[in-house]
Amino acid sequence: MAWRTVRGIIRDSAFPGNASVIHGITTRPLGDQKSAPNRRCPSGVRAFVLAEQVHGARIAWIGERFPRQFIPRTDGLFTREPGLALGIFTADCVPVLFSWPEESIVGVVHAGWRGLSAGIIGKACRALLRWAGKKTLRGLRVAIGPHIRSCCYEVSEDVARVFSKPGIAFRDGSRWYVHLAGEVKRQLSEGGLDPRDFSEAPFCTKEDRRFFSYRRDQDSRRILTYIFQK
């Protein structure tokens, strides 16, 4: 198992593909990361840039200069800037990390059912090709962080029907469930990634009390998923 916790931060050691790329996902003992005093800047980071997160499909490229810490109307952030950490908050939604060592690009996307239904992961794949000026995503690595898995992600029939592709929404008796990571992986595959290029955290945030879970706790506490390159 490549996912390990050190000092309250979970990482997938098999993910980034480059020792200069640092990522992490906070756990409950580090507190609610939406509260600024709980956010500790990892060493080597000169600035933290965070997505406002509106459950949309807009992703932003962060250059050397950026307007403010929270990038408005955005659910995904990408950069080439060293020392610039990108972060998103979740409590059940899917944090998706991107590392493209050959292009020195890192990124993170907040993917809930609304963002996924709007194709945010596919959009990220197409934007990466554009930014890199490449025809394929060869060498891109993706890690799907801890989120609410289909065991616990019961949804209304209306939400289930948004996901018409096979294997994403399914029915158990009268209840409907959605496999969020399945949809993330479907969009990655459609974007040209091979399953060997992505990993998935085997934890369900609603069941595993190391994480905050909106479905379980019904509050605003969030974990932080971040990535930067030295």
Q: Tell me whether residue 65 is exposed, middle or buried, using C-beta atoms within 10 angstroms of its C-beta: 0 to 12, 13 to 18, 19 or more.
A: exposed
Which residues, 6+ apart, have CB-to-CB distance to 118 below 8 Å? 56, 57
CB 205 within 8 A of CB 212: yes
Measured from the CB atom, is 211 or 228 closer to Zn ion?
211
In the sheet with 3-6, reading across from the earlier edge strand, the strands are 3-6, 9-12, 21-26, 223-229, 84-90, 47-51, 70-71
CB 215 within 8 A of CB 148: yes
Among 102, 157, 190, 207, binds Zn ion (CB under 5 A): 207
To which H or E segment does residue 79 belong?
strand 76-79
Specify the stretch interacting with Zn ion by CB under 5 A; choose among 39-47, 162-170, 183-191, 203-211. 203-211
Integer Cα distance of 143 and 138 in angstroms = 15
# chain residues binding Zn ion, by CB under 5 A: 6
Integer Cα distance of 33 and 195 in angstroms = 31
Specify the stretch interacting with Zn ion by CB under 5 A; choose among 76-84, 119-127, 145-153, 184-192. 145-153
Residue 32 Cβ vs Zn ion, minimum distance, rounded to whole Å = 21
Per-residue mark of binding to Zn ion, 148-187 (x: CB under 5 A): -x-xx-----------------------------------
CB 223 within 8 A of CB 94: no
Measured from the CB atom, is 52 or 208 closer to Zn ion?
208
Specify the stretch interacting with Zn ion by CB under 5 A; choose among 34-42, 71-79, 160-168, 197-205. 197-205
Measured from the CB atom, is 118 or 152 closer to Zn ion?
152
Measured from the CB atom, is 2 or 151 closer to Zn ion?
151
If one asks whether residue 204 binds Zn ion (CB under 5 A), the answer comes out as yes
Measured from the CB atom, is 186 or 206 closer to Zn ion?
206
Residue numbers at the binding site for Zn ion (CB under 5 A): 149, 151-152, 204, 206-207
